[in-house]
Amino acid sequence: MTAEQSRLARTDELIRSTVAESGLAHERHGEGKYFVTLPGSKKLQTNCWLVAGEHALVVEAFVCRRPDEAHERVYRFLLQRNAKLYGVCYTLDSVGDIYLVGRHDLDTISSGELDRILGQVLEAADGDFNTLLELGFAGSIQREWDWRVSRGESLANLRAFKHLVGPDS
């Protein structure tokens, strides 16, 4: 076994044991490739890829789709938030969808470090979710609220955004 194969096998076992001990739902997609589901409260779940390469562990989690509006305010929020994050940062894909990404040297990753990184992914994705929706989707939220009210539909999962639709709604 080469040094790279040994390092990948060690990282694979580290990922497997860390996510299993944390009780996280996960699927293994080959050596060193895991799809992990992080449970949340505002964003019900955050899907996160952990992919060990030859020298680095890549962490990638989808946060939300491209904002419909107020792009500058959304991007300013993301850039300011990046300064407070540990081990990951916000980025955009080619269509503008928002992700958290990180790259970590395989030789320095430990179970505790991986747990801390996954905790940061969850805290950021779940904690920032409603703010991102408020900033980038206020018009859509208003239209959805109005549509549900007109049809007598439940507003339960929109209650966090009541302040966006006015006091009389």
Q: Where are the domains of the chain?
A: 3-136, 139-169
**What's residue 167's pLDDT?**
63
pTM of the model: 0.90
**What's residue 2's pLDDT?**
84
**What's residue 159's pLDDT?**
86
> Which carries the bigger pLDDT value, residue 163 or residue 68?
68
> Which carries the bigger pLDDT value, residue 167 or residue 105?
105
Residue 138's pLDDT band (boundaries 50, 70, 90)? Answer: very high
**What's residue 76's pLDDT?**
97
Beta-carbon contacts of 22 under 8 Å, excluding residues fewer than 6 positions away, are: 115, 118
**What's residue 169's pLDDT?**
55
**What's residue 134's pLDDT?**
94
User: Would the pLDDT of 166 be above 90?
Assistant: no
**What's residue 168's pLDDT?**
59
Each as own residue / partner, the long-range contacts of residues 107-116 (CB below 8 Å, 24 or more positions apart, any chain) are 107/7, 109/11, 109/14, 109/57, 110/14, 111/14, 111/17, 111/18, 111/21, 113/87, 114/14, 114/15, 114/18, 114/50, 114/57, 115/18, 115/22, 116/86, 116/87
Architecture of domain 3-136: 2-Layer Sandwich (3.30)
Query: 57-85 pLDDT, tens per residue?
Result: 999 999 999 999 999 999 999 999 999 99
Residue 8's pLDDT band (boundaries 50, 70, 90)? Answer: confident
Nearest to 52, CA basis, from 122, 102, 98: 102
3-state SS record for the chain: CCHHHHHHHHHHHHHHHHHHHCCCEEEECCCCEEEEEEECCCCCEEEEEEEECCCEEEEEEEEECCCCCCHHHHHHHHHHHHCCCCCCEEEECCCCCEEEEEEEECCCCCHHHHHHHHHHHHHHHHHHHHHHHHHHCHHHHHHHHHHHHHHCCCCHHHHHHHHHHCCCC
